[in-house]
Amino acid sequence: MPAVLSVMPTIDANSPIGVFDSGLGGLTVVKQIIQFLPNEQIVYFGDTARVPYGAKSAETIIRYSRQIVGILRKHRVKMIVVACNTASALALEVLCKESRLPIIGVIGPGATKAARSTKRRKVGIIATSSTVRSGAYAARIRRLDKTIQVFSQPCPLFVPLVEEGWLDHEVTHTVAREYLKALKKSGVDTLILGCTHYPLLKNVLHSVMGPKVMLIDSAEEVAAQVRRILIENQMLRTRLSPLSHKFLVSDEPQNFKRLAQRFLGGGVKEVHLCHV
């Protein structure tokens, strides 16, 4: 669950917001934060050397997440967004206990929106294998409304397809049709995109599920929560100097830069290699 701070640590309000993910997918959250908070600076870390996280153990995900939090703290971030659903499901609680900075994940906001949106009380979840096994989304939805039926489907091939840039490839359509077959049969009217890579496949997912199924991307809700935390703690950036977002990756910075520029519409001038 997200961190709730009673006392904010002493830190400069003009410090950046830290965001991390296993690779490219967390840029869906970055894009929304930029829209919600255009005056804020962001330091993003994509663990491209170790993507995907979805089939790894909880112990491994916690170790990776601790390492990345350590890197972000060196950049004096004022809060951290775990923009990876797998890390949110398996490592967020540990990270929150170990840090005085506010740290939030993506599962709570997505589950809340889905529970409020479903009309037929049938919610589907697509996610990595580790996130599905954790049961984090299903547990959160059932806490909100026990009458909602939850149907989960692991989609492990989606992350490498996104990282490859195959966002509208026929192979991706074929894989999606196979993965989503059971969810379509179940009659879900709301589908949680339980991995931050998956919003990059919205066109494919819409075409397979049909126009009557609402796709839930938690990025907008996460950005709203970031803004709320900063406002409540009087931590909005006040410096008017030009923004310079920083992008760090653990492997293949040029490939990341190419895909990131395509997704964010430019604004990614440099991507720095940062070994973990």
CATH of the domain at 43: 3.40.50.1860
Residue 10: predicted pLDDT = 64
For residues 98 and 230, membership in a common domain is answered with yes
For residues 29 and 61, membership in a common domain is answered with yes
Indicate the number of domains in the chain: 2
- Residues annotated as catalytic are 84, 195
Contact 22, 51 (CB under 8 A): yes
For residues 124 and 164, membership in a common domain is answered with yes
What digits encode the pLDDT tens for the residues 76-131?
A: 999 999 999 999 999 999 999 999 999 999 999 999 999 999 999 999 999 999 99
Judge whether 71 lies within some domain.
yes
pLDDT level of residue 3 (50, 70, 90 thresholds):
very low
For residues 62 and 21, membership in a common domain is answered with yes
For residues 119 and 187, membership in a common domain is answered with yes
Contact 205, 192 (CB under 8 A): no
For residues 115 and 209, membership in a common domain is answered with yes
pLDDT level of residue 267 (50, 70, 90 thresholds):
confident
What digits encode the pLDDT tens for the residues 242-266?
A: 788 999 999 999 999 988 987 787 7
Judge whether 186 lies within some domain.
yes
Tally of CB atoms within 10 A around 113: 18
Contacts for 148 with CB less than 8 Å, ≥ 6 apart: 115, 118, 121, 122, 123, 141, 142
Closest CA to 104 of 271, 225, 252: 225
Domain that holds residue 82: 17-105+220-273
What digits encode the pLDDT tens for the residues 172-194?
A: 999 999 999 999 999 999 999 99
pLDDT level of residue 5 (50, 70, 90 thresholds):
very low
For residues 227 and 101, membership in a common domain is answered with yes
CA-CA distance, 29 to 143, in Å (whole number)? Answer: 25
CA-CA distance, 112 to 123, in Å (whole number)? Answer: 11
Length of the chain: 276
pTM value is 0.87
For residues 86 and 159, membership in a common domain is answered with no
CA-CA distance, 179 to 51, in Å (whole number)? Answer: 20
Contact 216, 45 (CB under 8 A): no
Residue 249: predicted pLDDT = 98
Judge whether 66 lies within some domain.
yes
CA-CA distance, 172 to 174, in Å (whole number)? Answer: 5
What digits encode the pLDDT tens for the residues 25-66?
A: 999 999 999 999 999 999 999 999 999 998 899 999 999 999
In degrees and rounded to multiples of 5, residue 18 shows phi and psi of: -90, 135
Domain boundary among 218, 239, 255: 218
Q: What is the SS3 assignment for 236-273?
A: CCCCCCCCCCEEEECCCHHHHHHHHHHHHCCCCCCEEE
